Amino acid sequence: MRWSMRLPVPVLCAVTLSLLLSACGGGSGGTITPVPEPAPAPTPGPVCTQSLSAQPAPAVAPMGGAAWVAGAADWSRPHVPGRVLVSSAVSGPALSTLGVTGQEVVPGVTVVTTLPGAEASVAGRLQTQGAVIQPDYLYVPLAVPNDPGVPGNGGVPVGGARYEQSYLTRVNAPQAWTFLQSCGKIPVAARMAVLDSLVNAAHPDLQGRLAAGRSYLAGSPSDDGGHGTATTGLIAATTNNAQGMAGLTWTGTVTPLEVIGASGASTSTVAQAVRDAVSGGALVINMSLGIAVTGTTDPDPVLSKALSDAAKSAVLVASAGNTAGDGLYYPASHPDVIAVGAAGSGDALACYSARPLTAQLTQSAQFMIAPGGAGNCPGATNGAQLLVLNHGGGYTLQAGTSFAAPLVSGAAALMRAANPALSAQETKTRLLTSARPTADGLRFLDVNAAVRSATR
């Protein structure tokens, strides 16, 4: 495929690689009562305020020994937000007189819940009444996910060689995962929808991640070339199952909506799927599809209305396009959509990736880049492509802006799950402003910085 050619159908197909047949192919007890805050109510604190610098773990006494030492609590160490551990020095009825309730988690130890960020103040109140308290300290795992594709785990065999998900380290995903765990969270995705071609829900590396999807093709032939399976896997490949890849998000629900058939996608199917995704609660929508457009007027008023309505509650992400001279494709050029270009083997824009034209200066404010594979750019190697799920059940290598967009969508989903109070616009703004500036003045996705910005 020549880089100057436009795609024959309105979907941003993957860049053809020499080792692949085609990038596009033929064608998602008791109840613990929160501790009431003294009046006046304090201003809500950050979602996660713990210091992440290396610190010694809290001392743990042997079983049967003196478990705690009064006054030893260190609230600067990583701990679970909204939890205070209380020893049996204060009984359940005594806790009730203080206006709090708890639940015994181990003999002699009760966990009391608070508002996130209020642990130290609540603990101080309890301590003045004779309670022996401490934080619910966090112990961060000392291992990365065990999926072979995660860098350092040996790689996944493709075509006689082994390949890793090098893009994970390039976007600082492991650091984001560690940060979330240090905040008492897991790398979960907010509810997402992926508008794409047919997704192989039976793929071993998608088990447990997909909600029931829907096809909008109304009897038209499906595109089973693997585009939808590949994009979905970048976001949601089952993590820590000791096989294949790790998704950018470890858990959470992704809904696959089939809008791309053998002849591409249409205005009506995409618009309907966007509206249904929002109605179904999707907080992030990935669209690795598009058409080349000319001029600065709205090229598709019907789809534009659906996108504008959806953007009120969902973060919308679309791939920029695979022809460097045509400007941003649509819907990536829509003002409410984050447009994602592809970086090659380094931080620079890949030779094939679309970018905003001079006439698209407004849209350039919502343009960022993420690893998309080197494609057939000069000097490209197989190791510079992206490891993705193969529709048939295995793994393959791909390149294209179609595969850069899901990384941005996954980051947005991590942000909205880490801080559910963020609006779609706030998430979008923080995602763009947290990106790493490149030598060319572009924004390169930084998942760690994005997640941290969401939890401030």
Summarised one tens digit per residue, pLDDT across range 265-313 is 999 999 999 999 999 999 999 999 999 887 777 889 999 999 999 999 9
Task: Return the amino acid letter for 317.
Answer: V
Q: Do 160 and 133 fall within a single domain?
A: no
> Are 105 and 254 within one domain?
no
Same domain for 217 and 251, yes or no, is yes
Q: CA-CA distances (angstroms) from residue 275 to 217, 260, 302, 456?
A: 16, 16, 12, 31
C-alpha 256/C-alpha 197 separation (Å) is 9
Q: How far apart are CA 144 and CA 179, in angstroms?
A: 13
Catalytic residue among 227, 326, 409, 453: 227
In this model, does residue 77 exceed pLDDT 60?
Answer: yes
* Residue that wins the pLDDT comparison between 77 and 174: 174
> What CATH number does residue 202 fall under?
3.40.50.200
In a domain, 17, yes or no: no
Its pTM stands at 0.74
Asked if 266 is an active-site residue, the reply is no
Quote the percentage of the chain above a pLDDT of 90: 56
20 has pLDDT over 90: no
Same domain as 265, residue 118:
no
Cα dist from 441 to 229, 340, 359, 368, 438, whole Å: 32, 15, 18, 10, 5
Write down the residue that tokens 């799927």 correspond to: 273
Q: Is 203 assigned a catalytic role?
A: no
Query: Domain limits at 110?
Result: 79-137
Same domain, 111 and 164: no
Q: Cα–Cα distance between 354 and 118 in angstroms, integer?
A: 47
Q: Are residues 184 and 93 in the same domain?
A: no
Supply 393's token pair: 């059940």
Asked if pLDDT for residue 54 goes beyond 80, the answer is no
Choose between 260 and 125: higher pLDDT. 260
Tell me, what's the pLDDT at 61? 35
> 314 and 364 in one domain?
yes
pLDDT over 80 (residue 360)? no
What pLDDT shows up at residue 429?
A: 98
Domain annotation covers residue 123: yes
Q: How many domains does the chain have?
A: 2
Q: pLDDT tens digits, residue range 379-411?
A: 999 999 999 999 999 999 999 999 999 999 999
Q: Is residue 47 within 8 Å of residue 455, measured between CB atoms? A: yes
227 is catalytic: yes
| Digit-coded pLDDT (tens) for 428-439 | 999 999 999 999
Question: How far are the Cα atoms of 177, 185, 432 from residue 315, in angstroms, in the given order?
Answer: 21, 21, 12
- Catalytic member of 402, 409, 434, 453: 402
Residue at 43 is within a domain:
no
What whole-number distance in Å separates Cα of residue 399 and Cα of residue 349? Answer: 13
Based on the fold, state whether residues 161 and 107 are members of the same structural domain. Answer: no
At residue 115, the pLDDT reads 82
Residue type at position 142: L
Q: Please report, for residues 21, 133, 146, 193, 232, the alpha-carbon distance to residue 149 in angstroms, rounded to integers and kept in the order given.
A: 22, 42, 9, 24, 16
- Are residue 178 and residue 316 in the same domain, yes or no? yes
- Residue 19 in any domain: the answer is no
Q: Which of 147, 196, 223, 336 is catalytic?
A: 196
| pLDDT score for 91 | 63
With respect to residue 105, please indicate whether it lies within any of the assigned structural domains. yes
Is 388 inside any structural domain? Answer: yes
103-107, 108-112, 245-249: least confident range: 103-107
CATH of the domain at 124: 3.30.70
Say yes or no: 208 and 286 in one domain. Answer: yes
Nearest to 166 by CA among 353, 344, 393: 344
- Residue 92: what pLDDT? 64
Residue 94 has pLDDT above 80, yes or no: no
Instruction: Lowest mean pLDDT of 48-57, 78-87, 414-423, name the range.
Output: 48-57
Domain membership flag for residue 12: no
pLDDT band, residue 102 (cuts 50/70/90): confident
- Please say if the pLDDT value at position 105 is more than 80: no
